[in-house]
Amino acid sequence: MARDHQNWIHIVEGTLECAKEYGEFAGSWVLDKARKRGIKWFPGLRIFVRYGILKHEETTRSGRRAYYTMPDPQGVENALQEFRNIKWNRISSTLIIPKSTYKVTT
């Protein structure tokens, strides 16, 4: 999922925060967390149910609000950390240091 939708990582981080804070949570609560990371909108959390990150628990308000839980928050946290490490390694391996900032000795 991270390869196909890198911008969704912030949403997964928000779901992890909600899972730790509330246990069971609504999508609008995740949107509040995601907005703090610069995400204005996302289509919903059903896609994360398909990936196995979330589990749909119940629907209320005449079908307009769904509640979710995260079956394996530690696994999600580990995966996010691994993604950050891979992303950082990729970025750091392509850094170019300007010649003027280092001294060559022979």
Residue 52 included in any domain: yes
What is the extent of the structural domain holding 53?
Answer: 6-101
With tokens 């979330």, the residue in question is 54
Average pLDDT for 1-29: 85
- In the sheet where 65-69 sits, what is the strand order? 25-26, 65-69, 55-60
Residue 40's pLDDT is: 84
Q: Return the exposure string of 74-93: e unless at least 16 CB atoms fall within 10 Å of the residue's CB, then b.
A: eebbebeeebeeeeeeeeee
Average pLDDT for 6-20: 88
Number of domains in the chain: 1
Average pLDDT for 11-34: 92
Is 90 exceeded by the pLDDT of residue 106? no
Residue 106 included in any domain: no
Q: pTM for the complete prediction?
A: 0.72
Residue 95's pLDDT is: 44
Is 60 exceeded by the pLDDT of residue 94? no
- 29: domain CATH number is 1.10.10
Residue 1 included in any domain: no
pLDDT (tens digit per residue) in 25-70:
999 899 888 888 888 888 789 889 998 999 999 888 766 789 999 9
